[in-house]
């Protein structure tokens, strides 16, 4: 883009959103060069921060007229390079659209703007004895708009579902400025379920401006059963046995020895550092139900040779046990200069086999891997440890990650559970999907965004590249 055109657009954006909410200098733009997956970076032309929906709509209208790409960004906590800027486009930040518009206690819903932090919804709903169930580890920072874009989950998604199961309605602006509402205030709406299509669409189809989420009543009782194991396979097998017994935990998480040690050193949660694997199983419901299920879970853990079992005796103890799990990602950062966080999903029955295969891959690539993940629904988050200052280590980490994703597909899983495809996994899309399926994705994209201005180059690969990606993997 010419310098003159950029200057004209910058002036126009400042008139729309205000003088202090357009970032043009490279130094101040630095925090917007990447999301949480900081290995993929790019400079944008401008960063624009609208403060109202009308301002946002006018910014999009101007971008469409001048054919300027738009990358919508929430809190920037994503882990797939989904918010990496387009060099000839703008970053459209929703950070200032951060109001909780209304909470309906009787309908158990909350209307919020996309910049509202995930945890803020539960904090606001708490006065009514309600909360918002999806709780990513980054919930203190991540925004609900970003959660919608990536279909985020969290430790409680096993029982209460992902974002798609907890959003009732969304309002969004299409690239031509059209405002549409998907979903509704009732339990069901007529027509195609376009709301589910938008959730997880990674900013490729429209810009969400308001979300109505479902709220749940706080359970009467909640306890966590923690079990340590000397063998990762035994812990993985214990996961399947809990579900097979007809018990659906609120959360069922697993950590291996690297993650256990790092988390314990980070926040002193009381984890046994000599364990090879750790399971955290949360049970909620009535007091009698929780007491019965905790006892049954403890017995199941014993049958799978758990070396120690502990049941939380207070809310403070339960919170501390979860603090260790939710601190695992930053904690692992203390034992390695860099790490590469992957995200793939597999059938629960394949957990033991996949973890064993990943251990073998670790030896092959010469890189350690720390596992901390949503075991109950098979959503893996292996953290590949490397040192970016050592030539070739990042490339090996990428290759290791690609092999893990291909392994997930080969056992009947998929290349993402809640982080999205973004730029990170676009080379694995042709392994998961056929050319005809990818062509259909492009047709859907074209229906919403004919000019291809919204988050270009993310999520869905160009068909002309698919054979190249497949061929590259065959000879890797």
Q: Can you tell me the distance from the alpha carbon of 190 to that of 256, in angstroms, rounded to the nearest whole number?
A: 46
Portions of the chain given CATH number 3.30.1360.20: 336-410
Start-to-end C-alpha separation, the chain: 37
Portions of the chain given CATH number 3.30.70.2190: 221-330
Q: Where are the alpha helices (DSSP H) in 314-381?
A: 315-326, 328-332, 351-365
Q: Can you tell me the distance from the alpha carbon of 23 to that of 10, in angstroms, rounded to the nearest whole number?
A: 9
Query: CATH fold of 336-410, please?
Result: Gyrase A; domain 2 (3.30.1360)
Contact 416, 80 (CB under 8 A): yes
Alpha carbon distances (Å) from 228 to 54, 158, 260, 474: 54, 21, 10, 39
Mean pLDDT over 401-412 rounds to 97
Portions of the chain given CATH number 3.30.465.10: 100-217
Q: Can you tell me the distance from the alpha carbon of 400 to that of 423, in angstroms, rounded to the nearest whole number?
A: 16
Q: How much is the pLDDT for 437? A: 97
* pLDDT over 80 at 468, yes or no: no
Question: Hey, what CATH class is 221-330 in?
Answer: alpha beta
Contact 85, 35 (CB under 8 A): no
Other CB atoms within 10 Å distance of the CB of residue 10? 17
Q: How much is the pLDDT for 243? A: 94
Q: In the predicted model, what is the mean pLDDT of the chain?
A: 95
Mean pLDDT over 296-324 rounds to 97
* pLDDT over 80 at 405, yes or no: yes
The second-level CATH assignment, the architecture, of 3-93 is 2-Layer Sandwich (3.30)
Q: How confident is the model at residue 474 (pLDDT cuts 50, 70, 90)?
A: low
pLDDT per residue as tens digits for the range 252-302: 999 999 999 999 999 999 999 999 999 999 999 999 999 999 999 999 999
> Does domain 100-217 fall into CATH 1.10.10.10?
no
Mean pLDDT over 311-340 rounds to 94
Tokens 């969290």, residue located = 154
């Amino acid at each position: 883009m010419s310098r003159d055109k950029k200057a004209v657009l910058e002036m126009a954006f400042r008139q729309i959103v205000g003088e202090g909410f357009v970032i043009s200098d490279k130094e101040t733009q630095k925090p917007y060069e990447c999301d949480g997956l900081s290995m993929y970076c790019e400079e944008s032309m401008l960063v624009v921060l609208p403060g109202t929906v009308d301002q946002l709509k006018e910014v999009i209208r101007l971008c469409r007229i001048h054919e300027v790409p738009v990358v919508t960004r929430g809190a920037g906590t994503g882990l797939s390079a989904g918010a990496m800027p387009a060099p000839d486009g703008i970053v459209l930040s929703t950070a200032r659209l951060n109001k909780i518009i209304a909470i309906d206690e009787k309908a158990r819903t909350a209307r919020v703007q996309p910049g509202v932090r995930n945890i803020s919804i539960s904090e606001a709903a708490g006065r009514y004895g309600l909360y918002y169930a999806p709780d990513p580890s980054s919930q203190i920072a991540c925004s609900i708009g970003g959660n919608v874009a990536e279909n985020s989950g969290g430790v409680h998604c096993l029982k209460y579902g992902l974002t798609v199961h907890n959003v009732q309605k969304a309002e969004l602006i299409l690239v031509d400025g059209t405002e549409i509402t998907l979903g509704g205030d009732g339990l069901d709406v007529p027509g195609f379920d376009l709301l589910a299509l938008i959730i997880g669409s990674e900013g490729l189809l429209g810009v969400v401006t308001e979300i109505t989420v479902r709220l749940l009543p706080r359970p009467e009782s909640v306890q966590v059963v923690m079990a340590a194991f000397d063998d990762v396979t035994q812990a993985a097998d214990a996961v399947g046995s809990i579900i097979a017994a007809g018990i659906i935990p609120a959360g069922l998480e697993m950590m291996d020895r690297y993650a256990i040690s790092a988390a314990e050193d980070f926040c002193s949660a009381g984890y046994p550092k000599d364990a090879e694997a750790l399971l955290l199983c949360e049970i909620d419901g009535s007091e009698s139900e929780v007491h019965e299920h905790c006892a049954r879970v403890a017995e199941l853990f014993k049958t799978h040779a758990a070396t120690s079992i502990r049941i939380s005796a207070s809310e403070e103890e339960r919170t501390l046990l979860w603090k260790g799990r939710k601190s695992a990602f930053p904690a692992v950062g203390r034992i390695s200069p860099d790490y590469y966080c992957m995200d793939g999903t597999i059938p629960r029955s394949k957990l033991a086999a996949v973890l064993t295969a990943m251990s073998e891959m670790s030896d092959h690539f010469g890189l350690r891997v720390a596992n901390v993940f949503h075991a109950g629904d098979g959503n893996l988050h292996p953290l590949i440890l490397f040192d970016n200052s050592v030539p070739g280590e990042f490339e090996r980490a990428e290759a290791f990650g690609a092999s893990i994703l291909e392994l997930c597909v080969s056992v009947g899983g998929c290349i993402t559970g809640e982080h999205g495809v973004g730029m990170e996994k676009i080379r694995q899309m042709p392994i998961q999907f056929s050319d005809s399926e990818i062509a259909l994705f492009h047709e859907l994209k074209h229906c919403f965004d004919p000019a291809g201005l919204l988050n270009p180059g993310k999520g869905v690969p160009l068909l002309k590249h698919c054979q190249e990606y497949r061929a590259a993997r065959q000879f890797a």
